[in-house]
Amino acid sequence: MSRPISVVIHIDALRHNLARLREAARGRTLWAVVKANAYGHGLENAVCGFAEADGLAMLDASEARRARAAGWKKRLLMLEGFFDAADAHELERLGAEPVIHSRWQIELLKSAPHSNLKVHVKINSGMNRLGFMPEEACGVINEIGSIPGVEVLDAVTHFANAERPFGCDSAASVSEQLKRMQSIAATEELCMANSAAGLLQPDVKGNGLRAGIALYGISPLGEVSSQELGLRPAMTLSADIIALRTVCRGEAVGYGSRWVAQRDSRIAVVACGYADGYPRSMPDGAPVWVEGKKAPLAGAVSMDMLTIDVTDVPQARIGSPVELWGEHICVNDLACRCGTIGYELLCAVASRVPVSSD
């Protein structure tokens, strides 16, 4: 038997979340964002679960090829466009729609012949990563649109603070970014919203919604739960208990002897470590779900194992499955305990963990 750790992807949860985001899209084109191997869920599972989306949004040609090979026939949006000339050609062959964000990409489009390349033009409305400035947008859009074989579909931008209040005190609040997009809105369709904007910002309109995290059932906000937003977590990471021992009060567990037993304690060893994607920075007390109860992490996470205190879970035995995150253990809560966000934990599940679907 192989090591007892697995990720299970719940396709029905992906479908459920897609229907939820379809409501939130209020008629806009719904793009399912599947970068980073569908946020760790497996691109092929996403192609299956998001069959009702209007298109898939991703990063590079290898993902586009995988999506096509998995049977995806609808639209493909390339969030960072192409990375060189060969790439541009390959995207056109795959029928994918690149985002054009930089001057060098325009020059590259001009230097190679195209027959039917549809593109989106990225505007920098305050994120200050990719995109043309709002004042140059109209000129750039006309310039790209006049390249033979190239058609501009819309202008796209991305919010820096979509999970914060509309007019929050930030250099790039949603209201400020919308204001900067106003002049472009007069002549172009706009595709702007991510999950947070789609679910929480009714003032953000446009022709498209690019939803990532919410489609995987995870709230884009730390303080609002998946359930409150009508979302169902689609990934369960679990591993079995492979050893049990009793340690006496005063004994320590694991590297650095971080956790010290305050009472005689029953410790279970679980077959999941930081090399599987469970953060080494997770503090003692972080919950796992075992035999219908929560139990706390006890001791530093090792490369291939972690240890939990099951003194209060007498049913725990060798072979008991332990949910590290999923339906009962919120990945955002865990992420918060170790100073990151749920996105990072989902994406960081290691390739050595087998992924299946139900």
What is the set of active-site residues? Answer: 35, 255
Give every CB contact of residue 100 below 8 A, 6+ residues apart in sequence. Answer: 81, 106, 109, 119, 120, 121, 122, 144
| 269 strand-pairing partners | 243, 307
Does residue 261 bind ligand PLP (CB under 6 A)?
no
Does residue 211 bind ligand PLP (CB under 6 A)?
yes
> For residues 139-178, which are near ligand PLP according to CB under 6 A?
158
- Which residue has tokens 């995870």? 218
Which of 49, 55, 220, 254 forms a contact with ligand PLP (CB under 6 A)?
A: 220
How many residues bind to ligand PLP according to rule CB under 6 A?
Answer: 13
Does residue 195 bind ligand PLP (CB under 6 A)?
yes
Shortest CB 195 distance to ligand PLP, Å = 3
Does residue 126 bind ligand PLP (CB under 6 A)?
no
Provide the terminal-to-terminal Cα distance of the chain, rounded to the nearest Å. 21
> For residues 52-81, which are near ligand PLP according to CB under 6 A?
79
Helix (H) or strand (E) holding 323: strand 321-325
* CB of 18 or CB of 272, closer to ligand PLP: 18
Stretch that binds ligand PLP, among 22-30, 168-176, 188-196, 297-305 (CB under 6 A): 188-196
User: Could you give the C-alpha distances from 132 to 150, 284, 299, in angstroms and in order?
Assistant: 18, 46, 49
Stretch that binds ligand PLP, among 14-22, 205-213, 221-229, 344-352 (CB under 6 A): 205-213
Helix (H, G, I), strand (E, B) or coil at 253: strand
Give the total residue count for the chain.
358
Does residue 41 bind ligand PLP (CB under 6 A)?
no
Which of 125, 177, 194, 238 forms a contact with ligand PLP (CB under 6 A)?
A: 194
User: Could you give the C-alpha distances from 115 to 112, 118, 147, 148, in angstroms and in order?
Assistant: 10, 10, 10, 7
Q: Where are the beta strands (DSSP E) in 5-149?
A: 5-9, 29-33, 55-58, 75-78, 96-100, 117-122
Residues binding ligand PLP (CB under 6 A): 33, 35, 79, 158, 194-196, 210-214, 220
